[in-house]
Structure 1
């Protein structure tokens, strides 16, 4: 029987059930054995009365029939011998019928050996008629008939011996002694039959005399051997009888016949005197044997009663002991099960309730009282109590370890936040310095390098904010007023390394509420970063969105290798559940940051299989974070319901400038990263471009490294010129910042003296350095005036806040 995997209750029940079953089995066995013995004694007494006494009567009848048959065979001429034989045969038949009737009553209680002996007797009785027929026909000799009757009588003694076979040794000896006394009478009966036949015939053979002598000796030996075993009262009865007159006469006749010899014995003994002496002794011995058997049966009954009483007492005591053992075992087992259940309940409560609650509270930053969360429970001094105390120690150690781990995590998070804040301060200063350097420089190549450095610094700032988010703190970059959704997306594009691969399609004219601008920008930037990193460098990443019933969905498609179903499911679970950040989990930092930011503003982010073979990130922005574009500054006022990203350069302008004359930075430089302002119109990180009337940001051709310092190339001019070449960086467009009245015909070639020629195929002369410097200075002064105008309208800022940036402390 296997108990592995079973409950402790079943094991305890099995542990207690085995000795109980064994004890029950022993009790039942002892009770059955003792009761069976008592029942056998009682049944033996009844069997002796019911079957034993009729069997003795049948034996006496057969003995008399044997004597008469031998007498008839000795003198067949006498008619009275035949009549006497027939009368005796009828008596034998009646005794046989009585024996069968009595034996049938106790046959069910007979042992197998007794039943076998009874069947032999029945078979012998069935053969008695054949023997009688031979005797009537005088076809059998005296010796043959004598031996046949002896064979009929002998099984009865075996049958009587099996009826009195008991487990009690003393009673068994007495039963055997009674059978021996009965055999002694049988020896006398055989002696009587032999002498009666010899006296009737008038002759005796030497063999007959020897047989008579043997029967006399056999009788004496049987009496001397068996009378000593019988009780003293029975011994006295038999000894006193054999000292009487009738036995003395019998012994005298026996001595006379034996001493006379076989030739003179028939003439020496008178047949009538012998018959009388032998008949009296045989009858008296039969009476004494019957009385001794009755007294034996009377002695058996009290013994059987005592045995039965002992069996009853043993059974009752055994049952009481069994019940007591069962009750004690049940109480002990229930106590063990109760203690184990309590211990299991404590363990489950510790592992499933207390420790998780402590971990959640520690993760939430709450203080935990060690004595309240890990109370010391009182257990007993036994082994289970020791296990409970060990559980107390384990619980306290686990809570202490959790508190220490939480303190360590909190310390590590504080270190990360401190380092990130310091990095943010330095990066903020660096951006301020770069902004000032960009305003001062007049060299286009240096300006391009500064823009590149500005872009790297912006990315560094995003990584610093990611470190703050991983630490559980909120980033300092915040806005109070709505910002256009297009500007938020383009600000995210500007924070990605491979920004030139990203195509931003038309977006509705919606704005994002101020508190969610920074987090949503960071979230989209992380998704764009993943899309560009996990896709081939020659492919584009498309960004488009649309209104839905409960908000706005922004979709980011890449053309990478995609994700397996298991990895996609794991990533979506990570985005949905926002698990606790583990320091060892460094492969999915971007997804963890996205999950934290999405959970903060109830934004739903899911990853799907892209129709282009890669992965599509779907960002659902709820209505609570959105407003119409006109609700806040930075929202465009152009016609139509779609936002193409085009920004106007001056306020109060009734009509926007032509789409083909947008302002663009110097040739070869990257766009300045988008930093939406809280109070001024936000300049998009990419200048709007004209492409068949559709305004959106388009990725260039193959990704190439950023340009190094080199002589300025000749750029194409005109409204249809390409402003975002395959190199990926925007290029300046001639006369894009001039008023329409000051613009010259871009198709007319310029001569060295400043006049336009008529040859369109002629090369464009180089510009004068002073003229370029004057134009750039004028552009810079215009930017400065615009900033001063915006600062005059904006609330008072911190003294440390640089122009074109927001304070990280007050959220503006």
Structure 2
């Protein structure tokens, strides 16, 4: 190759890894500098993840609080569901208590009638009527007891422990009704004992009724339950008074006898408890509840019934009762009226409790549903806003990244390539802005990147203009140098024609050879500048002649052996470039191989099209990576810079090959060294059908020495052996020196510059 360039010790055709634009194949985006960072550090998170975290934290807090509120509402709904079930149970309990009170009254009447009046102790046939009344009472009681037992049995572990205990105690008390009935009707236990046993069963049911409001946080419901408890207690106390008064009647139930031991005490105790319950009711009940109570118990009948009871108690205390006095009978009937009135009040209040508990349960369910929907709405809104805000940031960032990568990988390199190919002439300097039109920081970054893009294009334009100026200098210098070299070659030719001394003629041939190499170096400057050579051929030239011309332009031409298939010619427009390309490859092969080894150039046609030339030496080898870089540079001629000027041969070969579609590949030789494969396409070659039209300027061995010996003016006979080798070498070197029969002249600028 040219002076100052060649294959370094580690490879052929210059150092493929040398610095400079295009000196190595692209290896993708540059790797980020290694940093010792935590992979999951917050600063390494993607923007979308940070935005998601920013929204998730407060949203999660709100959702957690909402879930707590929903859970509280659900718990309240469940609690009020239990309260409603308990209220239903309370309604059934009041019905059962009322049935038990009626059953107790009829049982005491049956006991009071005795055996003489078809009561207890009389044959069953005689007491059939009274027993039928009791059987009817039993059926009514059992029906209510079955409902209460079923509802009480459903009170499980979700209810408070006290409620569970009271429910089990109530069930046990209900189960004991059979034994109580049998003892009351079949044995002679006193009527007061029967009254007290029924009272204990009823008190157990009332204790379970007191648990209705358990688990409720509603004060109004709890107050209503307490009011119902007072009413139920008053009703039970009045019912006990009725039973005690009935037990004091004569068997015919018309008059009264003296109270048995303990009856008067029990009567007074019931009276005292009733008064206490009335006082508590007055303190606890609301105005509406008191109005309902007064409306039921403030009638004339109720007042008369209460007066009759008080009169009977007074007579019993004074001991003035008689079998003919109907006061006790009237008092017993008045108590029955009071019990019925209190039952009406009790039912009204119990219906209110059931309604309140149902409303509270519905309100709790509605609150839980509303709060649940609210949480879902908040979550949905947070999701929508997160997506909207995230897209408003990630979408511009994505477009910014895409635009930046497109600028860095496509648009800017393409602009630089266009400027490099045409010295920046005709390439627009305006840049298309990145598709981010927001006015936030992301938009500011996009505009800043657009400014960087403009500055890069401006610098590329300046560099292209500077490169154009340098290329113009190359062209001018090359034209001047070519003109001088051509004049020098013509002068040397003239001297050679008239020189008879073989030694001086050999020196002139060496000077001619050096001038030829100088001309090739000058032509290299034109290739660097992107200009074509001024020498042109209009007719095809035999491939053998082209190879001879290429070999004649290297220093160690005598080492080259040609083995070319005949009949191949190079088209005229490609002759000079092919000669130049092959001379560079041949010079590289001879320069970087031992001087005592041959360099072989062979060529033949390919069945697939084109011709393949093989330039093989036995010199320094290249490793695989270096050869891959060199082959890449042969396919991708780099931009001219200082590194290219130091490795001019590879650049020149790549540029010349690109002009005519020629492919050059390097590969290891089978015998060691390097093989350069040159594929000439069909557009660059043709079949040789005519004689060569080359007009060789000199292709014969020098005859000056022989002529001189014949005329006696040349060297002495003893000098023939001394100059024979020089003559043969010069002859071989002169064979390939040829010029076109009608070569195109050097362009006007070059001639003028010379």
Query: Which residue pairs with 2:457 in the alignment?
Result: 399
Instruction: Tell me the alpha carbon deviations over residues 150-199 of structure 1, each in whole angstroms, 9 at most, x when there is no partner.
Output: 5741454046446xx65644344324432343244345556777887899
Instruction: Tell me the alpha carbon deviations over residues 686-733 of structure 1, each in whole angstroms, 9 at most, x when there is no partner.
Output: x7xxxxxxxxxxxxxxxxxxxxxxxxxxxxxxxxxxxxxxxxxxxx99
Please tell me whether the aligned partners of residues 484 and 511 of structure 1 are also in contact (alpha carbons under 8 angstroms): yes
Q: Aligned-pair distance for 1:290?
A: 1.2
Please tell me whether the aligned partners of residues 513 and 627 of structure 1 are also in contact (alpha carbons under 8 angstroms): yes
Query: Which residue pairs with 2:143 in the alignment?
Result: 97
- Whether 1:603 and 2:665 are equivalent positions in the alignment is no
Shift in alpha-carbon separation, 1:358–1:418, aligned structure 2, 3 A: same
Quote the Cα distance in structure 2 between the aligned partners of 1:201 and 1:592: 144
Q: Aligned-pair distance for 1:544?
A: 1.0
2:351 aligned to which of 283, 294, 310: 294
Instruction: Tell me the alpha carbon deviations over residues 80-118 of structure 1, each in whole angstroms, 9 at most, x when there is no partner.
Output: 358768855753543443575699899999995399689
Q: Aligned-pair distance for 1:594?
A: 1.8
Q: Aligned-pair distance for 1:319?
A: 9.7
- Whether 1:182 and 2:232 are equivalent positions in the alignment is yes
Q: Aligned-pair distance for 1:542?
A: 1.3
- Whether 1:56 and 2:100 are equivalent positions in the alignment is no
Quote the Cα distance in structure 1 between the aligned partners of 2:403 and 2:395: 12
Quote the Cα distance in structure 1 between the aligned partners of 2:134 and 2:439: 91
- Whether 1:230 and 2:246 are equivalent positions in the alignment is no
Quote the Cα distance in structure 2 between the aligned partners of 1:315 and 1:548: 82
Quote the Cα distance in structure 2 between the aligned partners of 1:619 and 1:608: 11
Which secondary structure state, in structure 2, belongs to the residue aligned with residue 505 of structure 1? strand
Which secondary structure state, in structure 2, belongs to the residue aligned with residue 531 of structure 1? helix
Shift in alpha-carbon separation, 1:297–1:438, aligned structure 2, 3 A: same
Q: Aligned-pair distance for 1:598?
A: 1.2
Please tell me whether the aligned partners of residues 527 and 617 of structure 1 are also in contact (alpha carbons under 8 angstroms): yes
Shift in alpha-carbon separation, 1:795–1:415, aligned structure 2, 3 A: closer
Shift in alpha-carbon separation, 1:481–1:291, aligned structure 2, 3 A: closer
Instruction: Tell me the alpha carbon deviations over residues 31-76 of structure 1, each in whole angstroms, 9 at most, x when there is no partner.
Output: 998899899989978985x654333111222345467778999999
Query: Which residue pairs with 2:551 in the alignment?
Result: 493
Query: Which residue pairs with 1:540 in the alignment?
Result: 598
Q: Map 1:203-218; keep pairs closer than 5 Å.
A: 203-204=260-261, 209=265
Quote the Cα distance in structure 2 between the aligned partners of 1:270 and 1:300: 44
Q: Aligned-pair distance for 1:248?
A: 5.7
Q: Map 1:722-741; keep pairs closer than 5 Å.
A: none
Q: Map 1:468-483; keep pairs closer than 5 Å.
A: 468-483=526-541
Shift in alpha-carbon separation, 1:254–1:470, aligned structure 2, 3 A: farther
Please tell me whether the aligned partners of residues 553 and 619 of structure 1 are also in contact (alpha carbons under 8 angstroms): yes
Please tell me whether the aligned partners of residues 177 and 229 of structure 1 are also in contact (alpha carbons under 8 angstroms): yes
Which secondary structure state, in structure 1, belongs to the residue aligned with residue 159 of structure 2? helix
Gaps in structure 1 of 5+ consecutive residues: 636-678, 688-731, 744-752, 755-764
Shift in alpha-carbon separation, 1:400–1:273, aligned structure 2, 3 A: same
Please tell me whether the aligned partners of residues 611 and 680 of structure 2 are also in contact (alpha carbons under 8 angstroms): yes
Please tell me whether the aligned partners of residues 61 and 88 of structure 1 are also in contact (alpha carbons under 8 angstroms): no
- Normalized per residue, the structure richer in helix is 2
Shift in alpha-carbon separation, 1:391–1:195, aligned structure 2, 3 A: farther
Please tell me whether the aligned partners of residues 59 and 156 of structure 1 are also in contact (alpha carbons under 8 angstroms): no
Shift in alpha-carbon separation, 1:378–1:329, aligned structure 2, 3 A: closer
Which secondary structure state, in structure 2, belongs to the residue aligned with residue 607 of structure 1? strand
Instruction: Tell me the alpha carbon deviations over residues 356-392 of structure 1, each in whole angstroms, 9 at most, x when there is no partner.
Output: 4423421331535656444698935344543443343
Query: Which residue pairs with 2:437 in the alignment?
Result: 379
Query: Which residue pairs with 1:521 in the alignment?
Result: 579
Q: Aligned-pair distance for 1:545?
A: 1.1
Quote the Cα distance in structure 1 between the aligned partners of 2:149 and 2:644: 96
Please tell me whether the aligned partners of residues 397 and 442 of structure 2 are also in contact (alpha carbons under 8 angstroms): yes
Quote the Cα distance in structure 2 between the aligned partners of 1:422 and 1:388: 50
Shift in alpha-carbon separation, 1:129–1:368, aligned structure 2, 3 A: farther
Quote the Cα distance in structure 2 between the aligned partners of 1:89 and 1:473: 132
Moved more, 489-498 or 579-588: 579-588
Shift in alpha-carbon separation, 1:448–1:228, aligned structure 2, 3 A: farther
1:363 aligned to which of 407, 420, 430: 420
Quote the Cα distance in structure 2 between the aligned partners of 1:337 and 1:614: 57
Query: Which residue pairs with 1:502 in the alignment?
Result: 560
- Whether 1:170 and 2:220 are equivalent positions in the alignment is yes
Q: Aligned-pair distance for 1:462?
A: 3.4
Query: Which residue pairs with 1:645 in the alignment?
Result: none
Query: Which residue pairs with 1:620 in the alignment?
Result: 679
Shift in alpha-carbon separation, 1:321–1:136, aligned structure 2, 3 A: same
Q: Could you state the TM-score of these two structures normalised by the residue count of structure 2?
A: 0.66
Shift in alpha-carbon separation, 1:484–1:245, aligned structure 2, 3 A: same
Q: Map 1:116-265; keep pairs closer than 5 Å.
A: 120=168, 125-126=174-175, 128-129=177-178, 132=181, 142=193, 145=197, 149-150=201-202, 152-154=204-206, 156-158=208-210, 160-161=212-213, 168-186=218-236, 189=239, 203-204=260-261, 209=265, 219-238=274-293, 244-247=303-306, 250=309
Please tell me whether the aligned partners of residues 374 and 396 of structure 1 are also in contact (alpha carbons under 8 angstroms): no
Quote the Cα distance in structure 2 between the aligned partners of 1:473 and 1:140: 141
1:559 aligned to which of 610, 618, 639: 618
Quote the Cα distance in structure 2 between the aligned partners of 1:194 and 1:569: 123
Please tell me whether the aligned partners of residues 420 and 468 of structure 1 are also in contact (alpha carbons under 8 angstroms): yes
Aligned-residue RMSD, C-alpha? 6.3
Q: Which structure is richer in relative contact order (CA contacts within 8 A, separation 6 or more)?
A: 2
Which secondary structure state, in structure 2, belongs to the residue aligned with residue 611 of structure 1? coil
Moved more, 299-308 or 366-375: 299-308
2:119 aligned to which of 71, 80, 104: 80
Matched residue pairs, number? 672
Query: Which residue pairs with 1:669 in the alignment?
Result: none
Instruction: Tell me the alpha carbon deviations over residues 472-518 of structure 1, each in whole angstroms, 9 at most, x when there is no partner.
Output: 23244544454442232233234445444432225425443443222
- Whether 1:594 and 2:657 are equivalent positions in the alignment is no
Query: Which residue pairs with 2:8 in the alignment?
Result: none
Quote the Cα distance in structure 2 between the aligned partners of 1:116 and 1:633: 125
Please tell me whether the aligned partners of residues 491 and 521 of structure 1 are also in contact (alpha carbons under 8 angstroms): yes
Query: Which residue pairs with 1:697 in the alignment?
Result: none
Please tell me whether the aligned partners of residues 354 and 373 of structure 1 are also in contact (alpha carbons under 8 angstroms): no
- Whether 1:767 and 2:717 are equivalent positions in the alignment is yes
Quote the Cα distance in structure 2 between the aligned partners of 1:593 and 1:140: 137
Query: Which residue pairs with 1:284 in the alignment?
Result: 341
Please tell me whether the aligned partners of residues 70 and 372 of structure 2 are also in contact (alpha carbons under 8 angstroms): yes
Please tell me whether the aligned partners of residues 177 and 227 of structure 1 are also in contact (alpha carbons under 8 angstroms): no
Which secondary structure state, in structure 1, belongs to the residue aligned with residue 677 of structure 2? strand
Please tell me whether the aligned partners of residues 69 and 85 of structure 1 are also in contact (alpha carbons under 8 angstroms): no
Q: Aligned-pair distance for 1:232?
A: 0.4
Please tell me whether the aligned partners of residues 92 and 148 of structure 2 are also in contact (alpha carbons under 8 angstroms): yes
Quote the Cα distance in structure 1 between the aligned partners of 2:89 and 2:440: 67
Instruction: Tell me the alpha carbon deviations over residues 767-802 of structure 1, each in whole angstroms, 9 at most, x when there is no partner.
Output: 3789999xx99xx9xx99xx9xx99x966997x99x
